[in-house]
Structure 1
Amino acid sequence: MQFKKLAFLLLFLGFSSTAMAQMEIGIQFSPTIAGNRFIAEDRHGFEKNSNALRVGVGVIGDYFFSNNYAFSSGLMYRSKGSKVSYTYMVESGDGIVTPTKETDELTVQYLEIPLTLKLFTNEIAPDVVLYFQVGGALGTKVSGQVDQKKVINSEKTAKRFNVFETSAVLGTGAEMQLGQSTKLFGGVTYLRGLSNIDNYYKKQLNDKNLAIKNNGVSIDVGVKF
């Protein structure tokens, strides 16, 4: 009986050490050029006024199930959103309807879990490989701001921004081996929002088909060990 327990323990430790040998954990910093895109009728006049520089930072983990393929996940803090403008109709007391243009700066912070596949090439130079990344990400809202004012969870604003967001992820970059277990990496990632982030405009403009989604391109730099 004791022998079986010892054998099981040795097998478990061996499996754990093998799994850890296949896992690379790192820290990533991702400044992002963020914007928004719209699904809306032309009469609303939605347009992106400008992109915004947002921050992204977090911990990533690459689990290798072969020499050149890895499942990549982690936990990222990302800020998204930009300035948007739209047109709505205002009716005066004498019955005259006037189109009015409004501009909002949207800023929403998310905790995001990427779920992606990474393909690594063989060495293209001594200790340097390229990687290609594809997959998605699941985000949950941490906080939101409109015109740099926090949207608090009051009766009027609790449902301003949706709690969850889904995104498609597509990226490429390079890794450089610095030591036995240390690697530097840098790359570019395109983040395409798939879900509506803001319910306010549906009610403001009385259009249930209207949707605003995040877009962004991040410059990723970090270290793995």
Structure 2
Amino acid sequence: MKKALLALALLTGGAVTTASAQVEIGLKVSPSVSSLAATSPPVTSFKKDGSLASIGGGLVVDYFFGQNYAFSTGLQLTSKGGSIRYVQDDQLGKPSDVQKVRLQYVEVPVTVKLFTNEVATDVKLYFQVGGVVSGLTGARIDGEKFYRGTQDKSRSHFLFADFGLLGGTGVEYQLGQSTKVFAGVSYHHGLLNIDRYFDNSRSFDDVSIKNREIALDLGLKF
């Protein structure tokens, strides 16, 4: 009986250890440079006019379903945006206008991470690919929450959500039994037209504004 209980305890302990080792949780900080890819017909000539430097970060969760394969998600806060330039009314001779946009998102990555075997002692490379679901939490145009002195909230000019593709690569270093540090670079490619103002309120035809971002990902997993 004692031998059976001991065997059961060992098996249970081994199962718990294995299960806990399958999930790695950590924190990351991500300095980034973002821009707005703007397009339209020649009459309004929407185009990118500048980039936005910001910093974000949040929770990272890697769930391993193989020795070198993990489903990677988390919860992150990030800022995106940039400057866009457009022609207000070419026929009336109005000058071009510039908007400086800052958008605040809460994001949930839905990605897969592929790890190499060790390329040096305790060092692995990783490659990450998948998508990002984003929810808009705030917006400023030219630094203001309200659009140029009106009662129109800047946030209402943009789609409440975004979805994009994510691709990245980096290096991970094992510090201890369960502690790892990582550093990488990732590219975020927004797929949705986030404009809700120029088409709806200004009657500009075929205006498209999409997010683009390059981020440096620095983090610690426990």
1:107 corresponds in structure 2 to 102
Query: C-alpha separation between the residues in 2 aligned to 1:151 and 1:15?
Result: 55
Aligned length: 210
Shift of 1:69: 0.4
Give the % identical residues: 39
Q: TM-score under structure 1 normalisation?
A: 0.86
CA distance in 1, matches of 2:205, 2:15: 52
Question: Secondary structure of 1:65's match?
Answer: strand
Pick closer, same or farther for the CA change 1:212–1:15 going to 2, 3 Å. Answer: farther
In the other structure, the counterpart of 2:185 is: 188
Equivalence for 1:6: none
> What is the aligned partner in structure 2 of residue 117 from structure 1?
112
Worse-matched range after superposition: 39-48 or 155-164: 155-164
- Matching residue of 2:5: none
Give 1:3's aligned residue: none
Root mean square deviation of aligned Cα: 2.3
Q: Name 1:145's counterpart in structure 2.
A: 140
- 2:169 corresponds in structure 1 to 172
Extract unaligned runs of 5+ from structure 2.
Answer: 1-10
**Partners in 2 of 1:151 and 1:121 — Cα distance?**
49
Output the TM-score relative to the length of structure 2: 0.87
CA contact (8 A) 2:105 2:135 kept: yes
Unaligned runs of 5+ in 1: 1-10, 91-95
Distance 1:59 1:52 in 2: 23
Partners of 2:146 and 2:46 in 1: how far apart? 22
- How far apart are the structure 1 equivalents of 2:22 and 2:173? 17
Q: 1:65-144 maps to which residues of 2 (within 5 A)?
A: 65-89=65-89, 97-144=92-139
In structure 2, how many angstroms separate the alpha carbons of the residues matched to 1:218 and 1:83? 18
Which residue type is aligned with residue 126 of structure 1?
T
